[in-house]
Amino acid sequence: MTNYEPGNRGPLDRHPRNPILTPEQMPFRCYSVFNAGATVFRDKVLLLLRVERCDRKTYFHVATSADGVAFEVCPEPIRYPLSRAEARFGPAHRFDMRITRLDGVYYAYHAAWMRHGCCIGMATTEDFVDFTPLPHLSEPSNRNAVLFPEKIGGLYVRLDRPDKAIWCSWSPDLEFWGRSMPLDMPPLAWGGLKVGAGAIPIRTEHGWLEIYHAVCNTCSSNNYHLGVMLLDLEDPSKVLAAPTEFILAAERDYECMGQTPNVVFTSGAVEMPDGTLNVYYGGADTRMCLATTTVERLVRYCLDAKARLSQDERTKP
């Protein structure tokens, strides 16, 4: 028995107060606020907002909330010094943070666009004011990195996106990465252009739950969607269940109209004390939005899709 309505678009519900953060609500003048990393810090939901000022330069601002809906935005950006690579070749355009808490440390992964291409950067923080960057960046072209919230087999593990697909990579020290393997995802009609990791994976008894984005070309634009899948607990490059239907598409005006039309893009999800899973996503690269669900609801959605696929395979003539 499913616990989502068959007539709905999927197991996500848009919050009635969407969009929850807009440029007009910021305590400073800006052009857009979107694609925030999300975590829990000092018993509050914390978003690390991507803010583009009216000079089109990007800054990161912390926003905190007791209920996960109404946020207070810090007027000052975080302090994030140059990494060794940036000091040598020039500051990178940093964007789209993901935040992982692992062994008491907060790791912030982000894309870093340099003249050499798009790389992966990372920093650690204890207070979300001062950040210590790792001295190196990844090789290009790579982005959409999410670090798993625990080691697997004694190694750090991350999902990333070299080129146009999600890969799984392993590291003993967060510096040297290898054993890279693409995820064995099914073909997606709504993901023909590229597929990238979104939220930090969530451990469940059925596998790692991963909410991701995928992009397809339409007659008028490149449309972003959200999808969900379950990955093997011991080898996350193995996909255990991946519904071929998206769970969210750009349909509302706040998702379709903005600097990049027809985009829903998540960089983080937070499980609330009552069991609600808050999925934070950017709408049209302009404003922050919220969809709600539960971990159990998403897991059931994945398992139901897997069961239907198995039944279809058994009944093929």
Q: How many Å apart are CA 67 and CA 77, to the nearest integer?
A: 23
Position 157, amino acid: V
| Tens of pLDDT, residue by residue, the chain (317 residues) | 234 444 456 799 999 999 999 999 999 999 999 999 999 999 999 999 999 999 999 999 999 999 999 999 999 999 999 999 999 999 999 999 999 999 999 999 999 999 999 999 999 999 999 999 999 999 999 999 999 999 999 999 999 999 999 999 999 999 999 999 999 999 999 999 999 999 999 999 999 999 999 999 999 899 999 999 999 999 999 999 999 999 999 999 999 999 999 999 999 999 999 999 999 999 999 999 999 999 999 999 999 999 987 766 656 65
Q: In what order do the strands lie in the sheet with 178-182?
A: 146-147, 156-160, 167-171, 178-182
Q: How many Å apart are CA 118 and CA 139, to the nearest integer?
A: 8
Q: Is residue 6 part of a domain?
A: no
Count of domains forming the chain = 1
With b meaning 16 or more CB within 10 Å and e meaning fewer, what string describes 267-303?
Answer: bbbbeeeeebbbbbbbbbbbbbbbbbbbbebbbbbbb
Q: Is residue 26 part of a domain?
A: yes
Residues paired with residue 111 on neighbouring β-strands, in sequence order: 95, 120
Sign of CA dihedral 208, 209, 215, 218: positive
Closest CA to 197 of 247, 244, 161: 161
**Residue 156 belongs to domain spanning:** 19-314
Q: Could you tell me which residues come within 8 angstroms of residue 15 by beta carbon, excluding any fewer than 6 positions away? A: 69, 289, 290, 291, 292
Cis peptide, bond prior to residue 141, ω within 30 of zero: yes
Closest CA to 106 of 129, 122, 120, 125: 125
pLDDT of res. 30: 98
pLDDT of res. 2: 38
Q: Is residue 2 part of a domain?
A: no
Q: Is residue 3 part of a domain?
A: no
pLDDT of res. 8: 54
Cis peptide, bond prior to residue 81, ω within 30 of zero: no
Q: How many Å apart are CA 229 and CA 215, to the nearest integer?
A: 16
pLDDT of res. 315: 62
We report the CATH number of the domain holding residue 141 as 2.115.10.20
Q: What is the pTM of this model?
A: 0.95
Q: How many Å apart are CA 173 and CA 163, to the nearest integer?
A: 24
Q: Is residue 194 part of a domain?
A: yes
